[in-house]
Amino acid sequence: MTSSFDPSPSPTHFGFRKVPAEEKVRWVRNHFDTVARKYDLMNTLLSFGIHYLWKRAAVNLLRLQPGDSLLDVCGGTGDLSVLALKRMKRTGKVVLVDINRKMMESGRRKSTHAHLREKIFYVQGDAECLSFGSGRFDAAMVGFGIRNLTHMEEGFKEMHRVLKPGGRFICLEFSSPTSPLFRRLYDFYSFHIMPLLGLLLAGSRQAYTYLPESIRLFPSPGELTRLLEGIGFRQVNYRPLTNGIAVVHWGFKNDGYQKGPSPF
């Protein structure tokens, strides 16, 4: 699906490489076509399995209830959607949107939690131009995907638009470790060990060079908080996970917002 957002003529980043803004979607699609088959396996190996804890913590913060409607943006192979359905006791509606068909197909074929995966509605689409009416979902989430967009702010605006008044939102994304010593070790692992493992195990060094590069270009938690507040989210906050390697951000749609303590 083609986004109605008019792309800037100036270049954007694909990792540290500058590419024309109108071509980034193609670069991202090719990247995930390359890694789709072994995407989940590589995530588990490279994070030593910790990414499952991060995803569970993020979904828990949404406080999903049976019967809720949820949008999983850049949902890929559906791990977050599966956790959400568990939380909703297999009721409600989960719509997964991703621009990459191979990633979604890889998730649909997984044997783990097959009974839940068949309940997910898969939609191939552009996160910067969602094909849903305004105020349709009780909750929206994006996990490790928003930094791949050409215009990240447009993706957040679209998530805000499709939420119902008072709807809940989370963004789970990588960040930089808070400890200086740990950050140096993490940088060495990210830029040297991770690409090597990508070459040996997934057959692509470039794919796992892009990953740490895109993480380093992502806004800091404070910067992202200000961005989300500027879009209209309220009670925006964040929680670092595993010394800040990952951060979960949350907020509410401003329409119908009531002052008071955050349920998170």
| pLDDT tens per residue, range 161-192 | 999 999 999 999 999 999 999 999 999 999 99
Q: Is residue 89 part of a domain?
A: yes
Q: What is the CATH number of the domain that holds 28?
A: 3.40.50.150
Q: Is residue 189 part of a domain?
A: yes
d(CA 68, CA 94): 8
d(CA 202, CA 106): 15
As for how many domains the chain has, the answer is: 1
Q: Is residue 9 part of a domain?
A: no
Q: Is residue 99 part of a domain?
A: yes
- Residue 146's contacts (CB-CB under 8 Å, 6 or more residues apart) are 73, 74, 127, 152, 155, 156, 171, 173
Q: Is residue 258 part of a domain?
A: no
Q: Is residue 2 part of a domain?
A: no
Instruction: Output the six-digit token pair for 134.
Output: 């305004």
Contact by Cβ (8 Å): 184, 258: no
The pLDDT of residue 9 is: 53
Percent of the chain clearing pLDDT 90 (strictly above): 71
Amino acid at 157: K
pLDDT tens digits for the chain (264 residues)?
Answer: 334 444 445 788 777 777 788 888 887 888 888 888 888 989 999 999 999 999 999 999 999 999 999 999 999 999 999 999 999 988 889 999 999 999 999 999 999 999 999 999 999 999 999 999 999 999 999 999 999 999 999 999 999 999 999 999 999 999 999 999 999 999 999 999 999 998 898 888 888 898 889 999 999 999 999 999 999 999 999 999 999 999 999 999 975 444 443 444
Q: Is residue 198 part of a domain?
A: yes
Sheet containing 93-98: give its strands across: 121-124, 93-98, 69-73, 137-143, 163-174, 246-252, 234-241
The pLDDT of residue 177 is: 93
Domain limits at 123? 22-252
The pLDDT of residue 179 is: 94
The pLDDT of residue 187 is: 94
Contact by Cβ (8 Å): 90, 118: no
Q: Is residue 196 part of a domain?
A: yes
| pLDDT tens per residue, range 118-139 | 999 999 999 999 999 999 999 9
Bridge partner residues of 170 (DSSP): 141, 250
